[in-house]
Amino acid sequence: MKKLIDFDKEGFKKEVITNVKTLYRRPIEEATPQQVFQAVSYAVKDDIIDRWIATHKEYEKKNVKTVYYLSMEFLMGRALGNNLINLTYYDAVKEALDELGFDLNLIEDQEPDAALGNGGLGRLAACFLDSLATLGYPAYGCGIRYRYGMFKQAIKDGYQIELPDDWLKDGNPFEIKRPEYAVEVKFGGYVRVENRDGRNYFIQDGYQTVRAVPYDVPVVGYGNNVVNTLRIWDAEADQEFCLDSFDKGEYEKAVEQQNLAKTIVEVLYPNDNHYAGKELRLRQQYFFISASVQRAILKFKEKNSDIHNLPDKVTFQMNDTHPTVAVAELMRILMDEEGLEWDDAWDITTRTCAYTNHTIMAEALEKWPIELFSRLLPRIYQIVEEINRRFVLKIQSMYPGNQDKVKNMAILYDGQVKMAHLAIAGSYSVNGVAALHTKILEERELKDFYEMRPEQFNNKTNGITQRRFLLHGNPLLASWITDKIGDEWIVKLSNLKKLKVYATDEKYQQEFMNIKYQNKIRLANYIKEHNGVDVDPRSIFDVQVKRLHEYKRQLLNILHVMYQYNELKTNPSYDMYPTTYIFGAKASAGYKRAKLIIKLINSVADVINNDASIKGKIKVVFIENYRVSNAELIFAAADVSEQISTASREASGTGNMKFMLNGAVTLGTMDGANVEIVEEVGEENAVIFGLRAEEVMKYEREGGYNPKDIYNNDAAVRTVLTQLINGMYSSDDPDRFRDLYDSLINEDVYFILKDFASYVEAHRKIDTLYRDEKNWAKMVMLNTACAGKFSSDRTIEEYAKEIWNLKKVKVTLD
């Protein structure tokens, strides 16, 4: 790896030794690995700080436009390794630590994942921050410093158990508390009108207050001295108010505020693509939005005198509907605090806010009951009412007499506040996250909005950062690539296409496949250590890792494994290449059917892995506690990438891109970004099956299909389904999986049986392809070579040019 930033090895070693001493009163020889991790991180932070300061000086000097990426989730994973990679001295630090007698890999393993997110949406936000810093764009990530992040998953008797993620228990060496930037956030009470100088002011009274205190986490750009900020907000009780209350004997109120503050940031809601409608969740949303928007305005005013210029200096990018209360909060600040009139404030707001849609799943759309919304946020609700009133007038003037339009587009309807509609009304840009997804938004989900203002809509196909998911996660492949084409791919992933010429050369094929094999051994060791299961690195590693959701169809995958097992047991001529089916998935704590699918996977694993008669032809492994840090090992080791969602349901997917980059073949439906993956790599280098999105949507328009027809006509399907209820995988309780059986037979909302035969066929094809070693090597190498488009650097360049209008900044250290 090219060293872009100087590194003083001896100085670094000294600093680590000193840090251990001052932090723990210990000589380095007696330090625990956790203590060494802390000491190393503080030494690295020292190097980051100067760049962090220099970056912000430059931003201030240039009075740059800044994007505020507002997100309830940032799934950052571990920081140390990534920071070292982006400081370009990972290898040098590895060497320094070797000399001190420590293994950097083991030191990295001491760090808990910062799991302030659920899955794709949160990880996308983290990849975006990495790209923003690397490209030199002024940006803040704004979120919540959850006391407990995504739960830790343990598997007990095959069932998922959720354990609290106490990620801050040893402290977070990289964060910095910034009490000087604290702001107040108000909840509840009522609004009264006060007339001053002939103008009505709306004043919230009788409210509860929480102090929002930011913690800043550095986001290091690759080799460019740029350090941006992830600002996550903690909640504290308002001390002054509390003292005041104690004086007046309002002890209860003081305690109440203490509790309010504590509970707001207590825990991340573990729902992915699902809205639960809890009051505390709305509190979390308003809490971090109010704090972030207030702070952004204060910062703007330090350098700019006219608030009308806000859109020239600030964009609020709203990551899904979760932060869209920002539209009303900005209106409130502009009117109530800056004294603007409605039209003026609305003009500024709608040129400052932009919205990204991440899902068409109906159950994920946030719709707050008006009763709850107006009680918790009385002033904000008033503003939403007025936004809605004016928006409905506009609809009526464009479509006179068309009640359907009002019904479909109003922000307030049926006693609910529709957050997506608020977002669209208040934004200058609405984007989807893959070409197919954006098309579905325009043509179906948001058709009326698209017709009203087509120029507002645009697509930004997701991406991933190659710095974490190749350079850090797959060092063997990374250095092989650098050997062949130089290291510019680290910041310009489209360079990978230069690898195409190697894909047909036998010598390079062998090198590439040998690296894959080494990575499979690494994963096999992890599985042995964590699951106690032996897997053969020579078998096909067929992997599905992602959140557990019915639409992602892990059930289809395991049903196929059951089918294959039946073939092996009953059909003497059945020939299959040994395959290891690897799963990793967390289910939301309250999602019963998803948890039952986890139990099924583990039950099938138990039976198959212990059946000596099949000679290890199939192994099934469920990797516990799938998260960013073990994901890096998994992507590097995969042969086959399972991307099998019901077509039209997966907005984009980003795991699919990580597998491709690391040289795996996609086995998938034409859904989300799979469509674009196939476009890049060519149909012959992926295996596609199943209904297309239009077909799925046509069935849905026409009331579904009848799964019983398939049950009646396909004996293999019938056998597999029967095994769900005959105790084959649940001898102690034959009815355990009946819910899954019933759901498939009666509705099959996700077209699992409909796609089953085609999926079996696709697996046969993988089997055949894998046996042809040379062609397989060519396929996987072309997948890596064609992954350039899926860098989040490309995605961020598009956002920066087409939505944010940002300028790049160069940072030098004096």
> Which residues of the shown chain bind ligand C3B in the complex (CB under 6 A)?
118-121, 124, 272-273, 320, 358-359, 364, 433, 462, 650-654, 672
Q: Smallest distance, Å, CB 156 to ligand C3B?
A: 26
Check if 546 is active-site. Answer: yes
Which one-letter amino acid corresponds to residue 764?
A: R
CA separation for the pair 34, 77 (Å, rounded): 17
In whole angstroms, the minimum distance from the beta carbon of 2 to ligand C3B comes to 31
Measured from the CB atom, the residue of 53 and 276 that comes closer to ligand C3B is: 276
DSSP assignment of 216-231 equals: EEEEE-SSSS-EEEEE
Using CB positions, name the residue nearest to ligand C3B: 120
C-alpha angle 48-49-50 in degrees, rounded to nearest 5: 95
- Nearer Cβ to ligand C3B (364/446): 364
**With contact defined as beta carbons under 8 Å apart, do 527 and 724 qualify?**
no
Q: Which is nearer to ligand C3B, 292 or 359 (CB)?
A: 359
CB of 432 to ligand C3B, least distance (A): 9
**For the chain, what is the radius of gyration of the CA atoms?**
27
Residue 658 among the catalytic residues: yes
Query: Which of 13, 552, 617, 736 is an active site residue?
Result: 552
Q: Contact, 652 vs 673, CB < 8 A?
A: yes
Q: Is 503 exposed, middle or buried (0-12, 13-18, 19+ CB in 10 A)?
A: buried
CB of 5 to ligand C3B, least distance (A): 31
Phi, psi at 802, each rounded to 5°: -95, -20
| E-assigned strand segments in 474-598 | 540-545, 579-584
Q: What residues contact 376, with CB distance under 8 A and at least 6 apart?
A: 187, 188, 279, 282, 283, 286
Kind plus residue range of the DSSP H or E element containing 793: helix 792-799
Question: Smallest Cα–Cα separation from 141: which of 323, 366, 364?
Answer: 323
> What minimum distance in Å lies between the beta carbon of 270 and ligand C3B?
11
Q: Name the residue nearer to ligand C3B (CB basis): 583 or 737.
A: 583
Q: Is residue 167 helix, strand or coil?
A: coil
Among 437, 468, 658, 736, the active-site one is 658
Do residues 328 and 427 make contact, with C-beta atoms less than 8 angstroms apart? no
The reply to whether 547 belongs to the active site is yes
In 10 A of CB 483, how many CB atoms?
10
Tokens read off for 101? 């007698």
* DSSP 8-state class, residue 444: I
Q: Which of the residues 315, 356, 438, 654 is marked catalytic?
A: 654
d(CA 420, CA 803): 19
Catalytic residue among 358, 468, 595, 778: 358
For the record, the structure tokens of 799 come out as 């956002």
| Order of strands across the sheet that contains 416-418 | 367-369, 416-418, 412-413
CB of 358 to ligand C3B, least distance (A): 4
How is residue 684 written in tokens?
């012959």
Nearer to ligand C3B, 118 or 374 (CB): 118
CA-to-CA distance for 333 and 308, rounded, in angstroms?
13
Q: Which of 51, 546, 595, 619 does the annotation list as catalytic? A: 546
**CB nearer ligand C3B, residue 358 or residue 421:** 358
Shortest distance, CB of residue 812 to ligand C3B, whole angstroms?
35
Number of CB atoms found within 10 A of residue 154's CB: 12
- Residue that the structure tokens 């799934």 belong to: 75
Q: Helix 715-723 crosses helix 738-746 at what angle (to 10 degrees)?
A: 150
Q: How many CA atoms lie within 13 A of 781 on its CB side?
A: 27
Closest contact distance (angstroms) between CB of 750 and ligand C3B is: 14
Nearer to ligand C3B, 267 or 811 (CB): 267
Which structure tokens are listed for 401?
């007499």
Between 605 and 670, CB nearer to ligand C3B:
670
Distance CA 777, CA 765 (A): 15
Measured from the CB atom, the residue of 418 and 778 that comes closer to ligand C3B is: 418
Do residues 585 and 268 lie in contact, with contact meaning Cβ atoms separated by under 8 Å? no
For ligand C3B, which is the closer residue by CB, 241 or 275?
A: 275
> Shortest approach of ligand C3B to residue 626 CB, angstroms?
14
Rounded distance between C-alpha atoms, residue 123 and residue 149, angstroms: 13
CB of 157 to ligand C3B, least distance (A): 29
Query: CB of 319: closest distance to ligand C3B in angstroms?
Result: 9
Q: Write the CA distances from 613 to 56, 313, 337, 617, integer angstroms.
A: 65, 68, 75, 9
Q: In whole angstroms, how far apart are CA 727 and each of 556, 604, 612, 724, 733? A: 19, 11, 20, 7, 7
Cβ density class 322-336: b for 16+ within 10 Å, e for less: bbbbbbbbbbbbbbb
Q: 124 and 506 in contact (C-beta within 8 Å)?
A: no
- CB of residue 179 to ligand C3B, shortest distance in Å: 32
Catalytic residue chosen out of the listed positions 45, 547, 736, 789 = 547
Residue 436, CB half-sphere, CA atoms under 13 Å: how many?
22
552 is catalytic: yes
512's tokens: 């590439």
How far apart, in whole angstroms, are the C-alpha atoms of residue 30 and residue 158?
39
CA–CA gap between residue 86 and residue 4 (Å, rounded): 9
Of 124 and 677, CB closest to ligand C3B: 124
* Min separation Cβ 151 and ligand C3B, Å: 16
Residue nearer to ligand C3B on the CB measure, 462 or 474: 462
507 is catalytic: no
B/e letters for 411-441, b = 16+ CB within 10 Å, e = fewer, are bbbeebbbbbbbbbbbbbbbbbbbbbbbebb
Structure tokens at 268: 């991340």
Closer Cβ to ligand C3B, 173 or 653, answer by number: 653
Select from 123, 140, 219 the least CA-distant residue to 174.
219
Which residues have a catalytic role annotated?
358, 546-547, 552, 654, 658
